[in-house]
Structure 1
Amino acid sequence: MVRLKELDVLRGIAALNVVVFHYTSKFRINFGHNYPSKFDWDIGRYGVELFFMISGFVIFMSLQGKTSLEDFAYKRFSRLYPTYWICVFITFLIVNISQDPKMEPNSISILLMNMSMIQGVFGIKNVDGAYWSLIPELFFYAFMGGLFQLKMLGKVRTIAVIWLTLMISNSLFKLPFGAYLLNLQYGMFFLAGILFYRIKFNEGDWREHILIGFCFLAGVIENPTLICLGVFFTIFCLFYLFVYDKLKVFAWKPFVFLGYISYPLYLLHQNIGFVLMRKIGKYIPNEFLVILIGIVCMITVAWLVTRFLEKPILHFLRNYRFSKPRYSGSFQK
C-alpha cells in the first residue's frame, strides 16, 4: 500500500491537537491550571474525528486490489495490538509507580482486561482515557471486513445512504441499537474518508460530493454547536485540500514527524503526561513552560517507542507472515 506523506501531515495535525487539548483543558478539569481558561485548547478534542476520517480513507484503500480477509485482519492486528500492549504496560507501570494521590492506580486485572482493547464496551476502566477511541476504530475495521467478505465494497453509495440515515436517526431519536456495532456516533467521519478516497482516485463523481456534504451534516446534527460546525468544516476542508493535492504546501516536516509517531504518541501522552506535568510543576511555576516540557518529553518517548519497538516489531510480523510460502492444497516440490 502506497504511503501518502499528506496523510502523515493530517495525522500530525490531529495528534498535536489532541495532546494540547489534554494538557490544557483536560488537565484543568482533572487537576487545575492557574492561568486563565481562555488559553485552553478545547477544540483539540476533535482531532480524534480527523483520525477517524483518515482511518476511513486508509482502511478502504487497504481493501483495494489483491488482498484477502485473512491478510486484512492480520495487518490490522499487527498494526494495532503489539504497540497498544506496549503502551498500556508502560502507562500502567508509570502511573502506579508515581504514587500520585490524584492519579488512581490500576489493578493487574484491569491491566489484563485492557489488553483486549474493547474493555470500554463492558464498562471496564481504561488504563488511559485516550483509549476510548480505539473501540470505534475496531468496530469500523470489523464492519469493513464484513463488507469486503460479502463483496459489497463496490456499493459504497448505497451503503452510505443507509448508514447516514441510521446515523441521523440515531442523533435525533437515539436508536436503541448499534452505537458500537454500527458506529452511529462517529461513522460519518469514517464514511467521509471512504468517499474522499473515491474522489482522489477518480472513482467518484458529483454524488460523492453530495454524500460528503451529508456526512458533514450528520456530524453537526450529532454535535450541534457552533464550535463543532467550525471545526468539522475545517476538517472537511483539510481533506478536500488533500484529495486535490493542495496539502503539499502544508507538508511541514514537524507535522510529518508527528504523523510518523502519532499512534504511540496518542496512546502514551495523556496519563503519563499528567504525571510528568504534576511532578515538574512543583519546581517550575510557569505552567506554559510545564506544558511545553510535557509535550517535548512525550514526543521524545513516543519517538523512542516508534523507532525501537513499534516499527521493528511491525516489520518482523509483516515479514514473518508474508515471507512464508503459501500452498494451494496440493503438495508442491
Structure 2
Amino acid sequence: MTTKSRIEHVDGLRGLAAMLVVVGHWCELISRQAVPTSLSLGLKATFLDYFSTGRVGVVAFFCVSGFVIPFSFKGETPRARFVTSRFFRLYPAYWLALAGAAILLPLVGPSYSAWNILANATLLPKFLGQPYILGVCWTLTIELIFYGICFLAFSANVLHSARFNFAAVTTFILIGLAMAFYRSTHPGTGMPAGTMTFLAVMHFGTLTRLATLERSREAGILTPIALGILVVGVVAADTIGYRHNSDSELGWIAMSTGYLAGVALFLLCIYRQWFGGRIMVFLGAISYAVYLFHPIVHELCRHFWTSFSDWRSATLVLTPIYFATSLVVATLVYRFVELPGIELGKKFSAIKWSRKIRRS
C-alpha cells in the first residue's frame, strides 16, 4: 500500500470521526427532549452512560493529529512554516464559526460578553478564565498544546524519535493517573486527568506513524507496548478519577469504551486501510468545518424542537435538517474559507522566506 493511499485512509478517518461527533450530539439532544422514557434512557445509555460516539470521534481525531502533525515541519524554515501553516489552517474557519455563534446563539440563548468573545478568539479561553462559546473547541485547545510540544521537540531534535514518543505516552498516562487520584480525593477540583490521556494518544499516533510509514524498527517494538500502557492507563484513570467525581454528563464507562474504540478505529485505518474512498475522503476534507459549525446548527434545531406538536414530527423534520445543514455549511466554509486560508498561509511563508534571503 502506497503512502498516498494510506494518507487517504487517514483523511477518511477524519470524516468518520467528525460524523461520529455529529451523530452523538444529535442523539444526546433527542434524549433530553419530551420523548418516551424508554427512548430517552436507551439513547442516554448508548451515547452517554456506557458508550460515546463523540468520544470515539475525538480520540480518533487526536490519533490522526499525532500521525500527521509532527511530520509537517518542512522547508528551509520549518519552525516558522509550521507556525504559519497551523495558524492559517485553524483560525480563519474558527473565527468565522465563533462570529456565527456570537451572532446567532444569543437569539436562542444567553448572550456573550466582549471579553468572553475575545478570550475565545485565542482558542485558549480556559486559560483566561472564560467558558467556551463553542463547547467542542476544548479539543482545539489540546491541539494547540500538542503543537507546542511538537515545536519544542522538533527544536530539540527528538520529535521523530521513537523513544521520545514512547516516553511521552508513558509520562502523560502517569500524570493522568496522578491527577485521577487527586480528583478522587479532592472532589470539585476539576483536575483535567482526561487531557493527559488525550496528549498520550496523540504521541501514540506519532509512534504508530514511525512504526508504519517511517518503518522504524524501534517504533515497531515500542508501539504495542505503548498500546498496552494506553489501554490499562486510560481505564484506570477514568475509573479512579471520574467514577465518583465527574463534572460532565459523560459517564466514566463511556469515557473508557469510547476512548478505546477511537484507538481501535485508528489502528484499523492504519493497518487495514479502512475508511478510504471518495465519499470518506471528501468528508475528511470538510471534517474540521463540520466539527466547528455543527454545534451552531445543533442549538438552532434544539430551539425549534418545541415548535413541533410531538417528538416524532420534530425528529423526522429536524434530523435531516441538522445533518444536511451541517454538511452544506461545512462544504461552503471549506471551499471559500479553509482552502483560501491554507493558500494564504503558503504565500505568507514564501514572502517571509524571500525577504529573509534578501536581507542575508
Answer whether TM exceeds 0.5 for this pair: yes
Post-superposition Cα deviations, 1:243-264, rounded to whole Å, max 9, x if no partner, equal 22x224x324433222111111
- Conserved? CA contact 1:9–1:259, under 8 Å: yes
Aligned partner of 1:19 in structure 2 is 22
Please tell me the residue identity of whatever aligns with 1:247: Q
- Conserved? CA contact 1:277–1:291, under 8 Å: no
Post-superposition Cα deviations, 1:292-320, rounded to whole Å, max 9, x if no partner, equal 32111111111111111221222123223
- Conserved? CA contact 2:53–2:258, under 8 Å: no
Structure 1 residue 112: deviation in Å? 1.7
**1:186 and 2:198 matched:** yes
Residues 27 and 150 of structure 1: is their aligned pair in 2 closer, same or farther, counting only changes over 3 Å? farther
Alignment of 1:39-188 (within 5 A): 39-40=43-44, 42=47, 43-46=52-55, 47-63=57-73, 68-96=78-106, 99-100=107-108, 103-161=109-167, 163-174=169-180, 183-188=195-200
Rounded Cα–Cα distance in structure 1 between residues aligned with 2:12 and 2:309: 32
Structure 1 residue 222: deviation in Å? 2.5
Rounded Cα–Cα distance in structure 2 between residues aligned with 1:234 and 1:90: 32
Gaps of 5+ in 1: none
Residues 330 and 306 of structure 1: is their aligned pair in 2 closer, same or farther, counting only changes over 3 Å? closer
- Conserved? CA contact 1:95–1:272, under 8 Å: no
Alignment of 1:126-275 (within 5 A): 126-161=132-167, 163-174=169-180, 183-201=195-213, 202-203=215-216, 204-224=219-239, 226-244=253-271, 246-248=272-274, 250-275=275-300
Quote the RMSD (CA, aligned, Å). Answer: 2.9
- Pairs aligned (count): 322
If each structure's helix is expressed as a fraction of its own residues, which one has the higher value?
2
Aligned partner of 2:343 in structure 1 is 315
SS of the residue 1:223 aligns to: helix
* TM-score normalised by length of structure 1: 0.85
- Conserved? CA contact 1:140–1:183, under 8 Å: no
Please tell me the residue identity of whatever aligns with 1:39: L
- Conserved? CA contact 1:49–1:186, under 8 Å: yes
Which of 2, 5, 8 is the aligned partner of 2:8?
Answer: 5
Structure 1 residue 26: deviation in Å? 4.6
SS of the residue 1:304 aligns to: helix
Structure 1 residue 76: deviation in Å? 0.9
Residues 58 and 180 of structure 1: is their aligned pair in 2 closer, same or farther, counting only changes over 3 Å? farther
Please tell me the residue identity of whatever aligns with 1:288: T
Residues 128 and 323 of structure 1: is their aligned pair in 2 closer, same or farther, counting only changes over 3 Å? same
Structure 1 residue 221: deviation in Å? 2.2
Structure 1 residue 327: deviation in Å? 5.6
Structure 1 residue 110: deviation in Å? 1.6
Aligned partner of 2:242 in structure 1 is none
Residues 310 and 191 of structure 1: is their aligned pair in 2 closer, same or farther, counting only changes over 3 Å? same
Rounded Cα–Cα distance in structure 1 between residues aligned with 2:165 and 2:255: 25
Which of 296, 299, 303 is the aligned partner of 2:327?
Answer: 299
Q: Percent identity?
A: 24
Rounded Cα–Cα distance in structure 2 between residues aligned with 1:162 and 1:12: 27
Rounded Cα–Cα distance in structure 2 between residues aligned with 1:327 and 1:136: 33
Residues 207 and 163 of structure 1: is their aligned pair in 2 closer, same or farther, counting only changes over 3 Å? closer
Post-superposition Cα deviations, 1:245-290, rounded to whole Å, max 9, x if no partner, equal x224x32443322211111111111133221342265147424322
Residues 330 and 89 of structure 1: is their aligned pair in 2 closer, same or farther, counting only changes over 3 Å? closer
Please tell me the residue identity of whatever aligns with 1:135: T
Structure 1 residue 128: deviation in Å? 1.4
* TM-score normalised by length of structure 2: 0.79
Rounded Cα–Cα distance in structure 2 between residues aligned with 1:259 and 1:6: 9
SS of the residue 1:153 aligns to: coil
